[in-house]
Amino acid sequence: GTKLSSALELPWLGIDAKGLPKLPKEHMEALKAALGEGNFTEAAAKAKEALEKADKITINIAVTGEAGSGKSSFVNAIRGLKDRVHGAAAIGVTEMTMEAIAYPHPTYPNVTVWDLPGIGTQKFKPDKYLEKVEFSLYDFFIIISCTRFKYHDIELAQEIQRLGKKFYFVRPKVDQDLTNEKRHYEEEGILNQRGMASSRVFLVSRGDLGKYDYPKLQETLVDELPGHKRLTLLRSLSNVSKETLEKKKEQLQTQIWWKSLVSCGIAAVPIPGLSIACDVAMLVTSLKEFCRDFGLDENSLSALARRTKVPIAELKAVIKSPLSEKITKDLVIEILTKSVSLPTTYFMLQNFLDAAAADTVRVLEANETGFLAQMLSHFPPGCPCPGRSFL
Instruction: Give the DSSP H/E element, type plus range, for residue 283.
Output: helix 280-293
> Could you tell me the CA-to-CA distances from 75 to 52, 80, 115, 134, 224 in Å, in that order?
28, 9, 7, 18, 20
**Nearest alpha-carbon partner for 338 in 11, 99, 19, 2:** 11
Closest approach of Cβ 353 to ligand GTP, in Å?
58
Contact between 314 and ligand GTP (CB under 6 A)? Answer: no
Number of residues that bind ligand GTP (CB under 6 A): 20
Closest approach of Cβ 296 to ligand GTP, in Å?
27
Question: Among the candidate windows 89-97, 124-132, 209-217, 284-292, which touches ligand GTP by CB under 6 A?
Answer: 89-97
Contact between 97 and Mg ion (CB under 5 A)? Answer: yes
Instruction: Give the DSSP H/E element, type plus range, for residue 141.
Output: strand 140-144
Distance CA 379, CA 388 (A): 8
Nearer to ligand GTP, 146 or 278 (CB): 146
327: left (phi over 0), alpha (psi -120 to 50) or beta: beta
With beta carbons less than 8 A apart as the criterion, state whether 153 and 169 touch: yes
Closest approach of Cβ 62 to Mg ion, in Å?
13
With beta carbons less than 8 A apart as the criterion, state whether 174 and 203 touch: yes
Q: Which residues neighbour 342 within 8 Å (Cβ) at sequence distance 6 or greater?
A: 4, 15, 17
Contact between 80 and ligand GTP (CB under 6 A)? Answer: no
Q: 179 to 218, contacts with ligand GTP by CB under 6 A?
A: 205-206
Which pairing describes strands 277-278 and 269-270: parallel, antiparallel, or unpaired? antiparallel
Q: Binding mask 54-93 vs Mg ion (x if CB under 5 A, - otherwise)?
A: -----------------xx---------------------
DSSP per residue over 19-34, as a string? GSPP--HHHHHHHHHH
Closest approach of Cβ 219 to ligand GTP, in Å?
20
Nearer to ligand GTP, 238 or 263 (CB): 238
Helices H, strands E: what count in the chain? 16, 8
Nearer to ligand GTP, 92 or 109 (CB): 92
Nearer to ligand GTP, 70 or 126 (CB): 70
Contact between 95 and ligand GTP (CB under 6 A)? Answer: yes
Residue among 10, 45, 51, 91 that touches ligand GTP (CB under 6 A): 91
Q: 58 to 77, contacts with ligand GTP by CB under 6 A?
A: 67-73
Closest approach of Cβ 61 to ligand GTP, in Å?
15
Provide the binding-site residues for Mg ion, judged by CB under 5 A: 71-72, 97
